[in-house]
Structure 1
Amino acid sequence: MTQSAPAQPAVPSYASGTSAVPLLGDTIGATLDRTAARVGDHEALVECATGRRWSYPELVAEVDACALGLDALGVAKGDRVGIWAPNCAEWVFVQFGTAKLGAIMVNINPAYRTHELAYVLRQSGISVLVSAPEFKTSDYRAMVDQVRDDCPELREVLFLGDEAWQQLLATGRAADRSLLARREAELSADDPINIQYTSGTTGFPKGATLTHHNLLNNGFFVGEGCGYTEADRVCIPVPYYHCFGMGMGNLGCVSHGSTMIIPAAGFDPSATLRAVQQERCTSLYGVPTMFIAELGLPDFADYDLSSLRTGIMAGSPCPVEVMKRVVDEMGMTEVTICYGMTETSPVSTQTGADDDLERRTATVGRVHPHLEVKIVDAETGLTVPRGETGELCTRGYSVMLGYWNEPDKTAEVIDAARWMHTGDLATMDSDGYLNIVGRIKDLVIRGGENVYPREVEEFLYTHPDVVDAQVIGVPDERYGEELMAWVQLRDGAEPLTAESLRAFCSGRLAHYKIPRYVKIVDGFPMTVTGKVRKVEMRETSVTELGLEQVAAIRNA
């Protein structure tokens, strides 16, 4: 009797990013100085709203003036300096100036109000705050006045454009620059230099604490993935307060000698495309909703976008149909998708410019250089076979030091082996490409069937009248949860009813994946970084559908 060969073990969902390009061991300030010495008078920074421009040597001079001015204020290594402002050149000066001192820059969301502002000022122990006077409807002066007495460690507030800010720069320009060299000599690439508060959907946000090494290398390898050289001009409409803007944008540029283009203080689709046209940008960043807004402009076809070759779509799941239009209609043939989170500086995976369109539209790419990823069973912690769904974990140089002064919260997401547990559900295919199928907390369980909202959303994008769609679970007495779709329609579309949408889905989606409820909206509740606030959507829907009693039912 012949014995059959033993079955081959399943290939685990694990991958490590190899690279012939080594990690950078410098501090951020040293990298800026080295780049400026290499590229000379090449343009470093353009602020479109004011027309101001800086070459790399001019940028270094402004950064050094900011650093020395802060030093004269008594800011030392490890001190926290807050920055509360929309995108502007001064944001860049503070980012690199604090890094040169070894001070820890704390990014404050421009959308915050007094309650959130006071929390961040106190929790991080900010001693010096650099703030815009106002932005949109926010009066930052008034809000700082309201909270200042409750923030005992806050000793200096500098409003951009005011005399005190101008005096800080003047003091720095007159100072001995050799002092800065001595300060920089005391710094390590592993020092914390940035705190970024994650967008909490419940409770207070947590301060992800990042180092030179975290941020600089991540920006550098994102730039490598886009093929950046000093010939590239990168349009950055995403907010600086988030890793996408200050890391993937500013540090991606500075590490390659590329040019940073600020199209406007806040996102404006027309200003963004105008900046691309006028500044001949080669790369454009954005979250999916930004690209949707740009493609939806009535005069979209009038903009000359022929200089574009690459860019990044990231921040939240990227609809396949939108990605295809970005390639076809914006000429971004080398556009890449990145996946990441604030806690990982942020990027863990990226598609390649040479990936075929299917890979670049249907996956978030493969693991980044010098990093590891695995997909685990959330209950057992064991790595699942390729093709199976589990929680995505990542490990390597990019993982934060931890949440500022919150070791218990840190321990909830970084395990003993330094794996960062993302909370995202993903699959890995046989070639190592990853697909994000949802958040563990977003998973809808309808009558015992697991439904991943992302899958349903991707299908709804194929409806000719649907511009954008978000799917959530709402409580249901019979099934536990039912699906609800919030849908944004194209201009001039006929009203869409739950019945007509269900008819569109019938026969093409499993019955339990077809939304029971439909809500037509002009937009979605969003964080500043472009993530949809599904918790808020669910709360609104429960109220509007009269499901409060069902929601109150407790389940085992």
Structure 2
Amino acid sequence: MTGANVSRFLDEKAVSQPDVPALLVPRGRQPDGSIDYLKLSFLELAAEQNEWARRLRAKGIGKGSRVLLMVKPGLPLIAICFALFKVGAVPVVIDPGMGLKSFLNCVRKSQPEFLVGISLAIWLSRVFRKAFRSLRGKIKVGGPLERVSDSFSEEAAESTATDDLAAVLFTSGSTGAPKGVSYEHGMFEAQVEAIRTQYSIKPGEVDLPMLPIFALFNPALGMTTVVPEINPSKPATVDPEKIVRAIQQCQVTNSFGSPALWAKIGSYCDLHDIELPSLNRILMAGAPVPPGMMKQYRRILPNGQVHSPYGATEVLPVSSVSDLEILQGAADRTAKGAGTCVGKILEGVEARILPVVDGVMDASFLNNPLGVGEIGEIVVTGPSVTKAYDGLPEATSLAKIEKGGRTWHRIGDLGYFDADGYLWFCGRKVERVLAGDAMFYTDCCEGVINAHPKVFRSALVARRKNGTVEPAMFVELFKDQYPASKDDEKALLAEMKELAARCQVTEAIKEFHLHKGFPVDVRHNAKIHRMTLAKELNGA
């Protein structure tokens, strides 16, 4: 299908709701302490998009051009990204917080032809010339408030098909090397429709996206984007007062963020007895959401709900679960070792549970899915499922199954379906622990220990000793719950062992260690780096 260019979403909103605010970017404080915003309507944002499109074309950027985008969250990020879509170019987006070495490796792999970025990005390209040697042009961009247009002027969009490459988005690399995921125009459109339908999002709503890439959905959904005051490379350093102020001042109705961010915001709201009545929904993703946090937000959101969408960079969304579904039964099962309920599969998406295989799977594996309650590998197909990793044929063959013209993605997660059709997440495949003949799954085991009132989170790892493997558990407590003495620590660890002994899933776990702060992913600051903890335990 032609005419599938996703830049049309912004063009359509510039016509249907030209005067509605499209973007609010913080630029300081008013005398009364309120946030001072640069405000742009949908028509003004479309004007910015079109002017950038003209500038990009003047620099030789057109259909198929690969463009490394290194811009801070704000006006230029959204305007330039849609301008790149409009001219048919392919933005390459790499997480800025993954560390310099990993970042430069991603640049080498993606082979961008152009760099559009801030001064620091231009400087990096000069210092690390080898990583950027594929470049043949650079465009310098200003800060989050930079405007390039003072009036609207039409600019034609490049004709693109649904299967034309639209962007390359890199995974966070939380359980392996980051990989570029190839997104087609039709996949973005499928994501937009799935999000709109699942969460009943209406034009005119106000969104505060605490992961910058999610702001790109808003022009298609007709939502106002409020840029949060947050460092995207260090999201856990967020000041909750600034987020709460933005929600209250802008009457935010929707927000996306990781559980780690919402934990800080929730604690602040509890401390100051704050409710957030404007919020219709909070989408928490990036890691399992603790049931206790969902219960906490039942008070904070008198008119809204917490939802936890499940998926991956390669396929999102797959399923979704609400706070009520968790609190009305699923949480109790999690505490008994059932894993984490991630909801029912979304309309248009199909998922199966297959026997666990570490190598390539061919189409024949799809013919023998596991039954209800059987733990296996989660594989998914649907209109938003990506077909390949950028320039990585071996990784693609390991992660994809082709059958009947459809691509199935192996998420790398283990789980099962219950008798009611709910999908349960048991943990990452690479993080399972095989000790003798017994298999231990991270989310199943950790759910039992996390039920202890002093536990913030726990992590199952493999203890390797004299050629054998035994399950072991690290435990991170809430900050004010750490023991004051060795005797108190010994008593607390004894409680953990007793808790584990009462559940069949964890009764074989005998080794427990307290930990002051787990290593986590840079994107969400929520996914635990269990492999790093295992190296710490085993002295590797």
Q: With the length of structure 2 as denominator, give the TM-score of the two structures.
A: 0.84
The structure 2 residue matched to 1:207, chosen from 180, 193, 213, is: 180
Distance 1:462 1:354 in 2: 18
> Which structure 1 segments of 5+ residues have no match?
1-22, 135-139, 549-556
- Counterpart of 1:507 in structure 2: which amino acid? R
CA drift at 1:157? 3.2
Q: Which residue of 1 aligns with 2:216?
A: 250
The 3 A distance-change label for structure 1 pair 360 and 282 is farther
Q: Is the 8 A contact 2:167 2:183 kept in 1?
A: yes
CA drift at 1:388? 1.3
SS in 1 for 2:207: strand
CA drift at 1:59? 0.9
SS in 2 for 1:28: coil
Q: Which residue of 1 aligns with 2:354?
A: 376
Q: Is the 8 A contact 2:25 2:74 kept in 1?
A: yes
1:193 aligns with 2:166: yes
Q: Which residue of 1 aligns with 2:255?
A: 284
The 3 A distance-change label for structure 1 pair 364 and 112 is closer
- Counterpart of 1:285 in structure 2: which amino acid? F
Q: Which residue of 2 aligns with 1:337?
A: 308
CA drift at 1:353? 8.5
The structure 1 residue matched to 2:225, chosen from 226, 238, 260, is: 260
CA drift at 1:438? 0.8
CA drift at 1:373? 1.0
Of 221-230 and 467-476, deviating more is 467-476
The structure 1 residue matched to 2:193, chosen from 220, 233, 238, is: 220
Deviations 1:352-372 (A, max 9, x none): 688574378652111222221
The 3 A distance-change label for structure 1 pair 487 and 209 is same
The 3 A distance-change label for structure 1 pair 144 and 152 is closer
- Counterpart of 1:358 in structure 2: which amino acid? Q
Q: Which residue of 1 aligns with 2:458?
A: 469
CA RMSD in angstroms comes to: 2.9
The structure 1 residue matched to 2:319, chosen from 336, 341, 349, is: 349
Deviations 1:220-255 (A, max 9, x none): 3113222111232111112x2xxxx33xx431x222
Paired residue total? 499
Q: Which residue of 2 aligns with 1:533?
A: 529
Instruction: Please list, as runs of the form range in 1=range in 2, the aligned pairs for 1:263-274 lying within 5 A after superposition.
Output: 263-266=228-231, 267=235, 268=238, 269-274=240-245
The 3 A distance-change label for structure 1 pair 149 and 407 is closer
Of 509-518 and 330-339, deviating more is 509-518
Of 467-476 and 351-360, deviating more is 351-360
Of 420-429 and 371-380, deviating more is 371-380
Q: Is the 8 A contact 1:237 1:272 kept in 2?
A: no
1:505 aligns with 2:500: yes
Of 96-105 and 379-388, deviating more is 379-388
Q: Is the 8 A contact 1:84 1:109 kept in 2?
A: no
Instruction: Please list, as runs of the form range in 1=range in 2, the aligned pairs for 1:11-410 lying within 5 A after superposition.
Output: 26-50=4-28, 51-133=37-119, 140=121, 142-161=123-142, 170=148, 180-181=155-156, 183-184=157-158, 186-201=159-174, 204-238=177-211, 240=212, 245-246=213-214, 249-251=215-217, 253-266=218-231, 267=235, 268=238, 269-297=240-268, 300-331=271-302, 333-344=304-315, 346-351=316-321, 357-358=327-328, 363-379=341-357, 382-410=368-396
Of 494-503 and 77-86, deviating more is 494-503
Distance 1:488 1:153 in 2: 47
The 3 A distance-change label for structure 1 pair 300 and 286 is farther
- Counterpart of 1:45 in structure 2: which amino acid? L
Q: Which residue of 2 aligns with 1:554?
A: none
1:435 aligns with 2:416: no
Distance 2:303 2:451 in 1: 22
- Counterpart of 2:197 in structure 1: which amino acid? E
SS in 2 for 1:403: coil
Deviations 1:6-31 (A, max 9, x none): xxxxxxxxxxxxxxxxx998421112
CA drift at 1:334? 2.6
CA drift at 1:504? 4.0
Q: Which residue of 1 aligns with 2:33?
A: none
- Counterpart of 1:89 in structure 2: which amino acid? L
Deviations 1:66-113 (A, max 9, x none): 121111111011111112244222211122111111110100211244
Of 454-463 and 467-476, deviating more is 467-476
Distance 1:353 1:482 in 2: 31
Q: Is the 8 A contact 2:352 2:379 kept in 1?
A: yes
Q: With the length of structure 1 as denominator, give the TM-score of the two structures.
A: 0.82
- Counterpart of 1:78 in structure 2: which amino acid? G
Of 391-400 and 121-130, deviating more is 121-130
Q: Is the 8 A contact 1:65 1:173 kept in 2?
A: no
The 3 A distance-change label for structure 1 pair 204 and 387 is closer
SS in 2 for 1:402: coil
Between the aligned residues of both structures, percent identity stands at 23
Deviations 1:90-147 (A, max 9, x none): 211122111111110100211244433332223222122223345xxxxx55533221
Q: Is the 8 A contact 2:4 2:186 kept in 1?
A: yes
> Which structure 2 segments of 5+ residues have no match?
29-36, 332-339, 358-364
Distance 1:233 1:276 in 2: 9
SS in 1 for 2:391: coil
SS in 1 for 2:7: helix
Q: Which residue of 2 aligns with 1:420?
A: 409
Distance 1:332 1:411 in 2: 46
CA drift at 1:342? 0.8
Distance 2:25 2:96 in 1: 18
Distance 1:520 1:352 in 2: 31
Of 510-519 and 253-262, deviating more is 510-519
SS in 1 for 2:43: helix
SS in 1 for 2:282: strand
The 3 A distance-change label for structure 1 pair 218 and 203 is closer
Distance 1:536 1:126 in 2: 31
- Counterpart of 1:262 in structure 2: which amino acid? V
Q: Which residue of 1 aligns with 2:337?
A: none
CA drift at 1:298? 7.7
Distance 2:98 2:392 in 1: 21
Distance 1:510 1:398 in 2: 35
Q: Is the 8 A contact 1:235 1:284 kept in 2?
A: yes
